[in-house]
Chain A
Amino acid sequence: MNNETHKINELKNKIEHIENKKISKSKLKKQSNASFGFKISTELVSALVVGVGIGLIVDKYLGTKPFGLITFFILGAFAGILNIYRVMRRIEKQQ
């Protein structure tokens, strides 16, 4: 009887130990939230850069001065949001 309670207590301690380890691991994940935010922002900005670049090239060679930039800027913004959506979906799948 006494032996059994001792064993149960031992198991309890083990479980607590593992649980604590898990918590410290999730804390470590929280620290990399800054890099996660940075990842998201680069996705948005890079799509905008490509959109504006294409817009400027189109304007230069087709002579449609403001309209190419406007169109491709908007398309680039959409592409950036699409990129963010994909990253989020991938992260959601992992969890």
Chain B
Amino acid sequence: MPAAGARLAAGSGGLLRGIVVTYLSLVVLIPLAAVAWRSAGGGAGSFWSSVTAPEALASLRLSFLAALLVTAVNLVAGTAIAWVLARDEFPGRSVVNALIDLPFALPTIVAGVTLLALYGQHSPLGLNLAYTRAGVCLAMAFETLPFVVRAVQPVLLTMEPDMEEAAHCLGASQLATFRRVVLPALAPAMLAGAALAFARAVGEFGAVVLISGNLPYRTEVAAVHVFNLVQSDDSGGAAAVSVVLLAMSLLVLAAIGIAQRRGTRHAG
């Protein structure tokens, strides 16, 4: 009897798994395979010339470097924000905590309009970042702000302040306490958040498209370049740039995954 039950469960489990894999294939896997296939369609020579076309190369370089810079900024800022939210007490803390999720909730195009309202032409602060690379970075920073905060915060909350107190009582300065006691415990979560932030920033489209002005060679990011190539019906070129863009975010995600695994093995 139990054998029959198990067989039945295995049968329906297989059906469920089949549905899941089919859905995932139709929506995600087959379309992404089509991009890879299309990029290879013209041979290696055509792939190489699409990717190294000056405009494509400039857009890929801008996306990569801006995403790297923004990830570094939000790694520091995000950890500081998480620490303040977890350890500091001040009126309005819960409001600030809720605000962190705003970039996740706000549509990217609204983020773009929002940033231009303050940092565009006629800026009330007198700070016009429209059509500049700084504007591109600002848009990426806005979109990726929550990742590190939301990765680090739960770890800080489960970490008792006792260890920090103990280090402090033994004579360590606040900075030394943070560097020697808090930082090692937070590092895996910080890296995980940073990886997601980079993957998001490098492909960002909606928040960047308005503020950057998409000037070729200057402020056109790779995602916008792909968009323009699709609009001008150059799907081969678009696919080639897409593959490089995709490879950048996947490589960073994989590298950080490996670093984390090595880190936890070391600690454990």
The answer to whether A and B come from one shared complex is no
- What is the interface of chain B, defined by CB distance below 8 A to chain A? none
